[in-house]
Amino acid sequence: MLIALELGQTSLRNYYNDNIKGNYFYSLTTNLEIIITKLLRGAAQALKQFHKHGIHLDIKSDNFIISQNQNEGNNVIVCKLIDFNTSFLFNYHNVNDIRVESATEIYKAPEIRGNDRSKAIDNYENLDNLLNKYRKRFLFTRLDKVIKACIQLNPNDRPSIKAILDFLNYECNAFNYEKDKITNVKFCED
């Protein structure tokens, strides 16, 4: 077994509380949307990287650490994913062996109570936890569309983390669950 450690700055939750919450510049809706989009891009990139190897099963803002190496001009705040003790690794586990009892209860995706186990669980937990409390401030924005996509009750209707990143990077304009409602747009592919 190999363990690699990287020094991080602070959790995503603490970063938000220390740098954004109560800061007048970021309290303006446009600025807040920009900074939350940057944070979300960083969290989504970290989750996309982990999804190559497994399903985390305990996505919450405390389980993302802000990287010390940041480039102010970037459109992303780089995050690292931590706390893998509830994670399911594809090479070492059978999908039927996924145990979610120790995951944080309030962030669990609805299908966890059944037998459906997929990466969609992490996408639900990520957006439900990180953005749902801001939803009213971002009605009819791109962030609102991401929130709506990720909290779809049917896990098959939720976008992949790749589709979320593509959407946040303006490479597509709608998610697959919207196909019967919207036409003449580029849909995010999973």
pLDDT per residue over 90-105, tens digit each? 887 676 666 655 555 5
Q: What does the alpha-carbon distance between residue 9 and residue 15 come to, in Å, rounded to a whole number?
A: 9
Q: Residue 190 has what pLDDT?
A: 80
Residue 70 resides in a domain: yes
User: What are the C-alpha distances in Å from 12 to residues 45, 82, 93?
Assistant: 14, 11, 29
Summarize the confidence of residues 164-183 as an average pLDDT.
94
Q: Tell me which residue of 119, 133, 179, 125 sits closest to 151, measured CA to CA.
A: 125
What pLDDT does 164 receive? 94
Would the pLDDT of 1 be above 70? no
- Number of domains into which the chain is organized: 1
Is residue 187 one of the residues assigned to a domain? no
Per-residue confidence (pLDDT) for residue 104, from 0 to 100: 57
Q: What CATH number did the domain enclosing 14 receive? A: 1.10.510.10
Per the domain annotation, does 46 fall within a domain?
A: yes
Residue 131 pLDDT more than 80? no
Residue 159 covered by a domain: yes
In a domain, 125, yes or no: yes
Q: Report if residue 55 sits inside a domain.
A: yes
The predicted-structure confidence for 39-74, as pLDDT tens digits, reads as follows 999 999 999 999 999 888 888 888 999 998 888 778
Is position 190 within any domain?
no
pTM of the full predicted structure? Answer: 0.77
Neighbours of 8 (CB within 10 A): 15
The domain of 73 spans 8-178
Question: Would residue 1 count as lying in a domain?
Answer: no
